[in-house]
Amino acid sequence: MQNSTSEYRLEMSGISKRFGVVSVLENVNLKVKHGEIHALLGENGAGKSTLMKILSGVHQKDAGRVVLNGKEIAPKNTHDGQVLGINVVYQELSLVNDLSVAENIYLHKLGASKFWMNWKKINKDAQELIDSLGFKIDATAKVRDLSIVQKQVVEIAKAISEDTEILVLDEPTTVFDPTDTQKLFDNLFKLKERGISIIYISHHLEEIFKIADTVTVLRDGVDTGSIPVKETDTDGVIQLMIGRKLEDLYPERNSTLGGAPIFEVKNLSAKDTLVHDVSFAVRPGEVLGIAGLGGSGRTETAKLIFGADRKKSGQIFLNGEEIATRSPSEAVDHNIGLVSENRKEEGVFLPLSIQKNISVTDFSAISGKFGFINAENESKNVNNLIEKLNIKTPSAEVPVKNLSGGNQQKVALAKWLSIDSKVILIDEPTRGVDVGAKVEIYSLINEVAQNGVGVIVISSDMPEIMGIADRILVMHEGTIYGELSKEEFTEENILRFAIGEPLKK
C-alpha cells in the first residue's frame, strides 16, 4: 500500500475548481514531504484557502488527483479528512461559543466515543494539551469569554492530535503578537520533528523565512511552482506573488499636523474590562499607533472610546469640546469610526452583499428624505471603493462570505473609509491582507490623515506600526505605559514598554 518510492507524503496534482462560472483553481500542483513545513503563498483571492478546503473535504475538486501516502483520496467532508489524518486550522474561527474550551477541542471526537462522557478526563487532557503548547487558558472556560488570541490557540489545539499526518494552518498568526507567534513556531518545530507535514499559509513573509523549508506560490488560481526557501528571498517571493517588484511598502508620511488636538481622552477607565486611566491626544492629520501585547487592553480601549463598552470614568473631547459616547451610534453621530479586529463576528455581514456591507455606516449620504435609498449614488460610491481598495470580486452584489479572507478585510475597512470621519480607530488594519493590498491600505490611511482626520491605528505587527505611525503609545496591563516618538521607534523599545520595563539608556 505504502508507496515507498515517493519522497512525498502528499501529492496534489492537476487540481481545478470553479464556483459557478468563476474558475478559482486551474491545474494546481502541490507536493509536500514528510516532516517539512511547506509555505503556501499568494495574493488575496489566489485560491490558497480553497485548495486547502479541497484537501480537507470542505470543497470537492472538479478535476485532479490527491494522493496521500501513495493512496488516492477524495474526502467528501471534513470528517473523512480527519480520519485520514488531515487537520486544518481554518482562516475563520469556527468554535462553538457556548461550549467550553475542552468541549471544543474534543468536539469532533465526541460522537465516536462511548455513550458516557468522562468529563474529568476530557478537561484534564485538554488542559494538558494547552499547557504543552505554552499558553495559559483554562480548559473549562466558555469559549465566549475568551479573547480572540485565546480562541485562535484553541483552534490550533483542536487541530493537533495523536494521528495528525498533515496539519494545515491558514493564516494562524493574524491575531498573534510576536511572543505568541514565537510560541507557535516552537510548537511547529516540535511537530515537524514528529514527522508531521505542515502546510503554512501567511501574508507575513518574514515568518516564511523563519520556519518554512519549501514555498509554493499561487497566482490567480495557477501555481507558479515550488522552490526551496533557501533559494529565494522576500523580493523574489513578492515577484512571484504579484508579478512585479514592490517599491516601498510604507508611504511617505508628509501630512502637516494641526496644532490643537482634534481628539483627546482623559483618564478613561472601563467598567467591565481592565482598561484604566488612559489619556492621550491626537492632532488632525496625525497617525497615532497603539502597540502592546495581546491582552494589554488595546482593543478594549478602542471599544471604550467608541461606546461599545461601558465607561466608569473619564472624559472625551472632540475639537476641544467634551462629548459623550455612550453607544456606538452616538460615536458615529460625532463622526468617530471603528474598524473592528474581529472581522467575522463584528466587522462584516457575511450573508449580505458587498454593497449592503459598505453602505451600512452611511445611509445619510445615499438616502434622501424619509430614508429612501438612491440606488445610483449608492452603486457609484460602492464601486468607487471596490476599485480604490482593489477588492477582488465579479460585482458589488456578491455576498461577502464568498470573498477570500483578505478581500473581506478590505470590505470591513471600506465601510468606514467611505464616510466623513473626524476620528477613525483602526484595530489591526491589514489582518489577512496580502502585501500588494497592504500598500494600498497604508496609502489610503495616509490619504485619510492628510484630509485632517485623526487616525488611531492599533497593530500587533511591529514593522507595520513603525512604518505608518507618527507616534506610538504602548499599552501594558490596561493602561498606557509609554510613548515613543519617531526617532525612538525600534522593536526592542516597543517590546520593553509592552512588558512593563523602562527603555534602556
Partner 1 sequence: MASSSKEQLSSPGGILPFLIKYNTVFIFVLLVVFSAFISDVFFTSVNLSNLLKQVSGIGIISIGMLIVILTGGIDLSVGSMIALLAVAFALLVNIFALPLAILMTIAIGFSLGSVSGYLVAYQKMAPFIATLALMTVARGLAFIYSKGSPITFDTYGGLYMSNFANNSFLGIPNIAIVFFIIVILAMIMLRYNVFGRVIIAIGSNEEASRLSGLKVNKYKFLVYAISGALAAIAAIIVASRTNLGSPNMGMAWELDAIAAVVIGGASLSGGRGTAINTLMGVLILGLISNILNLLNVPSYPQQVVKGAIIIFAVLLQRFENK
Ligand X SMILES: Nc1ncnc2c1ncn2[C@@H]1O[C@H](COP(=O)(O)OP(=O)(O)OP(=O)(O)O)[C@@H](O)[C@H]1O
Q: Does 406 participate in binding ligand X (rule CB under 6 A)?
A: yes
Contact residue for partner 1 among 340, 393, 408, 421 (CB under 8 A): 340
Instruction: Report the partner that residue 501 touches, choosing among partner 1, Mg ion, ligand X, none (CB closer than 5 to 8 A by kind).
Output: none
Instruction: Report the partner that residue 73 touches, choosing among Mg ion, partner 1, ligand X, none (CB closer than 5 to 8 A by kind).
Output: none
Name the segment binding ligand X (CB under 6 A); options: 136-144, 272-280, 396-404, 440-448.
396-404
Closest CA relative to residue 450, chosen from 170, 252, 204, 249: 252
The nearer residue to ligand X, 65 or 392, going by C-beta atoms, is 392
The nearer residue to Mg ion, 49 or 353, going by C-beta atoms, is 49
Contacts of 88 (CB under 8 A, 6+ apart): 52, 53, 55, 56, 78, 81, 159, 167, 168, 169, 170
**At closest approach, how far in Å is the CB of 432 from ligand X?**
6
Q: Does 24 participate in binding ligand X (rule CB under 6 A)?
A: yes
Contact 174, 459 (CB under 8 A): no
Burial class, 361, CB count within 10 angstroms (exposed 0-12 / middle 13-18 / buried 19+): middle
Amino acid, res. 247:
E
Q: Does 441 participate in binding partner 1 (rule CB under 8 A)?
A: no
Q: Does 20 participate in binding partner 1 (rule CB under 8 A)?
A: yes
Q: Does 304 participate in binding ligand X (rule CB under 6 A)?
A: no
168 forms beta bridges with 88, 199
Q: Does 372 participate in binding partner 1 (rule CB under 8 A)?
A: yes
**At closest approach, how far in Å is the CB of 108 from Mg ion?**
21
Q: Does 408 participate in binding Mg ion (rule CB under 5 A)?
A: no
For the chain, how big is the Rg over CA atoms in Å?
23
167: part of which helix (H) or strand (E)? strand 166-170
CA distance 68 to 8: 8
Instruction: Report the partner that residue 45 touches, choosing among ligand X, Mg ion, partner 1, none (CB closer than 5 to 8 A by kind).
Output: ligand X
100 forms beta bridges with 142
Q: Does 147 participate in binding partner 1 (rule CB under 8 A)?
A: no
Name the segment binding partner 1 (CB under 8 A); options: 11-19, 86-94, 131-139, 482-490.
11-19
Contact residue for partner 1 among 138, 207, 346, 477 (CB under 8 A): 346
Q: Does 59 participate in binding partner 1 (rule CB under 8 A)?
A: no
The nearer residue to ligand X, 134 or 399, going by C-beta atoms, is 399
Number of residues that bind ligand X (CB under 6 A): 21
Instruction: Report the partner that residue 47 touches, choosing among ligand X, partner 1, Mg ion, none (CB closer than 5 to 8 A by kind).
Output: ligand X
Q: Give the footprint of ligand X on residues 422-481 (CB under 6 A).
A: 432, 434
Q: Does 182 participate in binding ligand X (rule CB under 6 A)?
A: no
CA distance 479 to 14: 53
Per-residue buried b or exposed e for 454-466, using 16+ beta carbons within 10 Å of the residue's own CB:
bbbbbbbbbebbb
CA distance 459 to 466: 10
Burial class, 164, CB count within 10 angstroms (exposed 0-12 / middle 13-18 / buried 19+): middle
Contact 221, 15 (CB under 8 A): no
Q: Does 407 participate in binding ligand X (rule CB under 6 A)?
A: yes
The nearer residue to partner 1, 115 or 370, going by C-beta atoms, is 370
CA distance 155 to 157: 6
x/- letters, 30..59, toward ligand X (CB under 6 A): ------------x-xxxxxxx---------
Closest CA relative to residue 278, chosen from 100, 270, 286: 270
Supply φ then ψ for residue 496, to 5 degrees.
-60, -50
Per-residue buried b or exposed e for 313-336, using 16+ beta carbons within 10 Å of the residue's own CB:
ebebebeeeeeebeeeeebbebeb
Binding site for Mg ion (CB under 5 A): 49, 91, 405
Binding site for ligand X (CB under 6 A): 19, 22, 24, 42, 44-50, 91, 392, 402-407, 432, 434
Binding site for partner 1 (CB under 8 A): 16, 18-21, 62-63, 306, 308, 327-329, 331-333, 338, 340, 345-352, 356, 359-361, 363, 367, 370-373, 375, 415
